[in-house]
Amino acid sequence: MSTAVYLDNHATTPVDPRVLEAMLPYFGERFGNAASRSHPFGWEAEEAVEAARGEIAALINGVPRDIVLTSGATESDNLAIKGVVEFHADRGDHVITAATEHKAVLDTCKALEKAGRARLTVLPVDREGRVDPDDVRRALTPRTVLISLMHANNEIGTLHPIAAVGRIAKDAGVLFHCDAAQSIGKVPFDVEALGVDLVSLTAHKLYGPKGAGALWVRGKQPRVRLAPQMHGGGHERGMRSGTLNVPGAVGLGRACALAQTEMAAEAGRVAQLRDRLHAGLASRLEGLTLNGHPSERLPGNLNLSFAGIEGDSLMAALPDVAVSSGSACTSATLEPSPVLRAIGLDDEASHASIRFGVGRFNTEADIDRAVARVAQEVERLRALSPAWAIRRRAAS
């Protein structure tokens, strides 16, 4: 494990040592419950949580009071979508989303639809994975209560035109939820400039701990109201009951603070490493196809189809290079990626695709080693592949 190259930073990131350092005291001597208002142990914990709320809000140009702390982006997505649909049931029941959304959004929407509590429109995307804002506008009805659209796709890295959709939502008086778990901390995200009303984020995608996340809920213009999904104590302004994970909140806050100061430089460095990876593989291998938008994408994302091989076979041959074939939430299934299908790839190309996620702690040496090992194994697998032999004969 210690010698393997980790290039799966979209699945999760390692905790930054500076984040861990900030968290450690709250596992030990500062162990108070942030809801205990009668003694210094609780006051200290509450102060730490409020400081973290401020750090999270600052990264997205939000207001600290509008940060609802959760266990991660999946809970945040559920709270946003179910909370809006249930609260506004007397006004409408129509939800608009896209075919390439994370399962935390799509499965939540489909569960509401199956229960008869929502009508769902799932919009297509183009070959590069982007929703057309005009499709969003055309999908609106008088019963639409929510648009839910991710900022950055977790498999192909494509960035949606969120600001354009935000303007459409605002003009229509429809609430706009954005799952920004993959993008916050990697690229700029301003809730006011983008015109969003609810934003999901999670710590473990930006070098913080697992099990800590947040939902930003717009407090005014308009004030967003949600039906809570967990009851018992009325924590988080009544939107999310439960004892707060103080160390996790501190870790998320510290991770956001680091991202705010280092994001621009880090994005440039990570993008250079990603391009080095792409160029290195392209120089040694033919039959590569980039999946996703060539420029409007996360700086660390590289999703490639390798003609003539099975992606699972390539991953099995690379125990020393950690990559994936798609979302960590769907990697156990043998079905082709729904995201790659949505952008028009056939089953063969989908099964031949690998997602590389370059991150903060990768080096040029990591990239060069990955290029060498991936190219070596692709060449070996192609030598055994009848499909590749047929392709070569057809090309000659």
Using the 3D structure, point to which of 224, 258, 292 is the last residue of a domain. Answer: 258
What's the rounded Cα separation, in Å, for the pair 396 and 57?
A: 58
What's the rounded Cα separation, in Å, for the pair 214 and 237?
A: 13
Same domain, 174 and 253: yes
Helices 103-114 & 73-87 angle (0-180, nearest 10): 30
Tokens standing for 315?
A: 């991953």
Using the 3D structure, point to which of 223, 258, 293 is the last residue of a domain. Answer: 258
Q: Which one, of 155, 179, 10, 205, lies nearest residue 104 by Cα?
A: 179
Average pLDDT over residues 295-313: 96
- Tens of pLDDT along 141-182? 999 999 999 999 999 999 999 999 999 999 999 999 999 999
Average pLDDT over residues 194-198: 98
Same domain, 336 and 378: yes
Q: What is the CATH number of the domain that holds 189?
A: 3.40.640.10
Tokens standing for 258?
A: 């680091």
Contact 179, 147 (CB under 8 A): no
What's the rounded Cα separation, in Å, for the pair 366 and 38?
A: 51
Confidence check: pLDDT of 2 > 80: no
- For the chain, how many structural domains are there in total? 2
| Residues of the domain holding 304 | 5-11+263-395
Options 109, 178, 256, 329, the catalytic residue:
329
Chain position carrying tokens 């392709």:
391
Same domain, 197 and 269: no
Same domain, 210 and 280: no
Is 329 assigned a catalytic role? yes
- Tens of pLDDT along 273-297? 999 999 999 999 999 999 999 999 9
Query: How high is the pLDDT of residue 390?
Result: 80
> What Cα–Cα distance (Å) separates residue 14 from each residue in 203, 325, 334?
10, 20, 27
Say if residue 99 is exposed, middle or buried (CB neighbours under 10 Å; 0-12, 13-18, 19+): middle
What's the rounded Cα separation, in Å, for the pair 167 and 169?
A: 5
- State the DSSP H helix or E strand holding residue 342, giving kind and residue range, or none if neither: helix 338-342
- Tens of pLDDT along 43-80? 999 999 999 999 999 999 999 999 999 999 999 999 99
Predicted structure pTM score: 0.95
Same domain, 117 and 28: yes
- Tens of pLDDT along 216-254? 999 999 999 999 999 998 899 889 999 999 999 999 999
Q: What is the CATH number of the domain that holds 293?
A: 3.90.1150.10
Same domain, 134 and 191: yes
Which one-letter amino acid corresponds to residue 41? F
Rg from Cα positions in the chain:
22
No. of helices (H) and no. of strands (E), the chain: 13, 12
Same domain, 165 and 43: yes
Same domain, 247 and 283: no
Same domain, 272 and 181: no
Confidence check: pLDDT of 326 > 70: no
Same domain, 83 and 211: yes
Tell how far CA 148 is from the center of its chain: 13
Same domain, 237 and 315: no
Same domain, 234 and 297: no
Confidence check: pLDDT of 333 > 60: no
Using the 3D structure, point to which of 234, 258, 282 is the last residue of a domain. Answer: 258
Q: How many residues does the chain have?
A: 396
Please give the mean pLDDT across all residues of the chain: 95
Taking residue 106's Cβ as centre, other Cβ atoms within 10 Å add up to 19
